[in-house]
Amino acid sequence: MQWLNAVIQGVLLGGLYALLAAGLSLMFGVMRIVNLAHGVLAMVAAYLGFIFVNNMGVPWYLAILIVVPIMALVGYALQWGLFNRALSKGGLAPLLVAFGLAVVLTQLLQEIFTADNRRIQIGELGTASIQITDSIYLGWFPIITFIVAVLIIAGVQLFLNRTPLGRAMRAASDDPDTVKLMGIDNRRVYALSTALALATVGLAGMFIGMKTQFSPTYGDLVLIFAFEAVIIGGLGSLWGTLAGGIVLGVAQAVGSQINPSYGLLIGNLVFLAILAFRPQGLFPKAVTT
């Protein structure tokens, strides 16, 4: 029963990893940008949520509706002002820009909010759970996180597959030069893609901020899990990212059940095994096909 519990808790945790990784996957899928500032941008969203929920008393679900559009705007501006210029300077430039952005944002958050640990208060919901069997309890908050992750990933995938803008994003990913010939401004498409990616980051940051305490540097700690989820699932594939998140969550939870010191280790080993034996990931390149 303990093992079953570990698997179930791992699946729920995987939802959070997938939610955090979705934006990373999207930016890589469309623009081939490895966004090292992803973790700290999630923290920016968490601090925004903290301001609305804890200081202004906005309910958390309404705060999400405010934070996500703000992050989307930030994403648009970032792509337009920073990454688009960097992209024209070759492959390494966007990576360096993202790294610099991460450093700057981390320090700015500390300057504004200090290094004190914060958490977005959600009251009773944080600890509420339903009992399934004698030894298996499911927390409502992890369940909500998981459902939101699945809905978001399904929604973004549908958007990419079914809408003209989604098609433009996939086209810009496949062949930027031809897209320009078709009269589409790929810089604008990129900016909208990053806006979409940061909207998901906004959501992920809010959920991280509600799950546990965060500080300006906490984003770096969870960024590694998002990267692993993306690689396990297959670069640029959203459904793969969901699968990758779940595989990683289950590997960590089951590993901890064997021995707590193996938890993160086994997650990392699964990640290494995928890199070694199936470097394209479980579901490669679904964004662009």
Partner 1 sequence: MRIARSVRALAAVAAVGLVVSACGGGGLDEPAASDSAPAESAAASEPAAGGDAEGGADASGGTIKVGFVSPMTGPLAGFGEPDQWIVDTMGAWFAANPIEAGGKSYNVEIILKDSQSDAKRAGEVAGELINQDGVDVVMAHGTPDTTNPVADQCEANATPCITSDAPWQPYYLGRQADPANPEPFTYTYHFFWGLEDVSAVYQDMWSQLDTNKKVGGLFPNDPDGQAWAGAFPDMVSANGYTINDPGLYQNGSQDFSAQISAYKSNGDEILTGVPIPPDFTTFWTQAKQQGLTPKIATIGKALLFPASMEALGDIGQNLGTEVWWTPNYPFSSSLTGMSAAELAQGYMDASGKQWTQPIGFSEALFEVLQAAIQAAGGPDKEAVASALSTLKVDTVVGPLDWTAGPVPNVSKTPLTGGQWRMTDGGEFPWELVIVSNSLAPEVPLGGSVEALK
Instruction: Considering only residues 206 through 235, tell me which ones interact with partner 1, judged by CB under 8 A.
Output: 211-215, 217-218, 221-222, 225
Q: How far is the CB of 71 from partner 1 (least distance, A)?
A: 8
Chain centroid offset of residue 163 CA = 22
**Which listed residue (100, 282, 284, 288) binds partner 1 by CB under 8 A?**
100
Q: How far is the CB of 233 from partner 1 (least distance, A)?
A: 17
Segment 246 to 275, residues that bind partner 1, using CB under 8 A = 249, 252-253, 256-257, 259-265
End-to-end CA distance of the chain: 41
Q: How far is the CB of 230 from partner 1 (least distance, A)?
A: 16
Q: Please say whether the dihedral angle defined by the alpha carbons of residues 72, 237, 157 and 223, taken in this order, is positive or negative.
A: negative
The CA distances from residue 171 to 153, 160, 179, 253, in Å, are 20, 10, 6, 39
Q: How far apart are CA 184 and CA 66, in angstroms?
A: 30
Q: How far apart are CA 46 and CA 112, in angstroms?
A: 14
Q: Which stretch binds partner 1 (CB under 8 A): 26-34, 42-50, 148-156, 161-169?
A: 42-50
Q: Which is nearer to partner 1, 191 or 287 (CB)?
A: 191
Q: How far is the CB of 115 from partner 1 (least distance, A)?
A: 3
Segment 132 to 161, residues that bind partner 1, using CB under 8 A = 135, 137-139, 141-142
Instruction: Work out whether 65 is an interface residue with partner 1 (CB under 8 A).
Output: no
Q: How far apart are CA 24 and CA 17, in angstroms?
A: 11
For 126, which DSSP code? G
Q: How far apart are CA 196 and CA 166, in angstroms?
A: 11
Interface with partner 1 (CB under 8 A), residue total 78
178: tokens are 């031809």
184 beta partners: none
Instruction: Work out whether 11 is an interface residue with partner 1 (CB under 8 A).
Output: no
Instruction: Work out whether 56 is an interface residue with partner 1 (CB under 8 A).
Output: yes
Q: Which is nearer to partner 1, 100 or 284 (CB)?
A: 100
Q: Which is nearer to partner 1, 188 or 285 (CB)?
A: 188
Instruction: Work out whether 77 is an interface residue with partner 1 (CB under 8 A).
Output: yes
Instruction: Work out whether 195 is an interface residue with partner 1 (CB under 8 A).
Output: no
Phi, psi of 131 (to 5 degrees): -90, 125
Q: Which is nearer to partner 1, 34 or 113 (CB)?
A: 113
For 20, which DSSP code? H
Residue entry with tokens 């944080």: 126
